[in-house]
Amino acid sequence: MAIKTLEIKELESKAANVYEAIVVLSKRSRQINEETKQEFSQRIESLVTLPASPDEVEDVANPDQLKISLEFEKRPKPTEESIGELMADKLEFRYKEADEKK
């Protein structure tokens, strides 16, 4: 996985300053990560577990489970997704205290 560079000026243009952009990106990355965890858990739970006979070794993996795991590993990382959303102007954010004063 290659590391992509990001222009600080471009990032700063999407928020009031670089630090604000980083906070927005980190919060969105956490949201994406939680959504992915939930989706993964739901898909793994929906699988029917293979009955294990006493003769089988317990380290045998379920092929469907491996397939789902590999699918999730190939997805872009949450930080990469959040940066893409911010750069494409798909993220909206506001200050919490501004909402409380209203």
What is the tens place of the pLDDT at every residue in 11-49?
999 999 999 999 999 999 999 999 999 999 999 988 866
Q: What is the pTM of this model?
A: 0.78
Rounded Cα distance, 91 and 93, in Å: 7
- How far is Cα of residue 54 from the mean position of the Cα atoms in its chain? 38
Q: Judge whether residue 95 has pLDDT over 70.
A: yes
Structure tokens at 96: 């919490």
Backbone torsions φ then ψ of 39, nearest 5 degrees: -65, -45
What is the sign, positive or negative, of the torsion defined by CA atoms of 72, 40, 90, 93?
negative
